[in-house]
Amino acid sequence: MTARIGVVTFPGTLDDRDALRAVRIAGGDAVPLWHADSSLQDVDAVVLPGGFAYGDYLRAGAIARFSPIMDAVVDAANGGMPVLGICNGFQVLTEVHLLPGSMIKNEHLHFICRDQTLRVENAETAWTSEYREGDEITVPLKNQDGQYVADERTLDELEGEGRVAFRYVGFNPNGSRRDIAGITNARGNVVGLMPHPEHATEPGFGPDSVEGGRTGTDGLAFFTSAIKGLLANA
């Protein structure tokens, strides 16, 4: 018995296949979900993957959030289901108000693609329990609208409640406020981040690591965290 983790595909999504693969590598059942469906097909958790849903028209995530499947995702998230938004998926989570703040264009205006070091600031969320607080991990980052912004009160609240889940280390690649790379909701079941853990789950296809070129698998624990948590509660 294992956990069923759904991955939503919107028109313009790019990283759904990698996210499904990451779920399988972590030992879960990967379930493709379609934006126009309203059923989550009895999954135990949902990943909103990266890409450019609806071409990022209007604002990144702004149209995707009105997809039929998002009503089900919001209901499930409010009921405690683990939901992970990666990059464009994070933008969708902010547009649908499951997470506070928003992403604007990178400070330097360029698309950026690099292996990025992050510090795990909260190892108690549904997607980070297999890390330890303070762990530094390296996963790919690739975005144009990655600058996390929120008003000062919201930022203070996030900091005060330990809801900054990840922070950029060494280099802030997009001008995000307070080096924030990812956040969680108060309950810890909904997590969003700009970098891509699903691209760092399989030796040979990940970022470079001390082991050698492309060997980095630091992102795998996102998925094993969710699966382990779900099985423990089953």
Partner 1 sequence: MATILVHVMPKPEILDPQGKAVGSALARLGFAGIESARQGKRFELTIDGEVSDAVLERVREAATAVLSNPVIEDVVEVTVVEEAAL
Interaction site with partner 1 (CB under 8 A): 58-59, 62, 94-95, 100-102, 104-109, 147, 149-151, 175
Q: In angstroms, give the least distance from the CB of 144 to partner 1.
A: 10
Q: Which is nearer to partner 1, 99 or 181 (CB)?
A: 99
Q: Which is nearer to partner 1, 105 or 228 (CB)?
A: 105
Q: Which listed residue (87, 95, 130, 199) is catalytic?
A: 87
Q: In angstroms, give the least distance from the CB of 49 to partner 1.
A: 21
Active site residue 198: yes
Active site residue 108: no
Q: Which is nearer to partner 1, 109 or 234 (CB)?
A: 109
Active site residue 87: yes
Amino acid identity of residue 83, one-letter, is V
Please list the active-site residues: 87, 196, 198
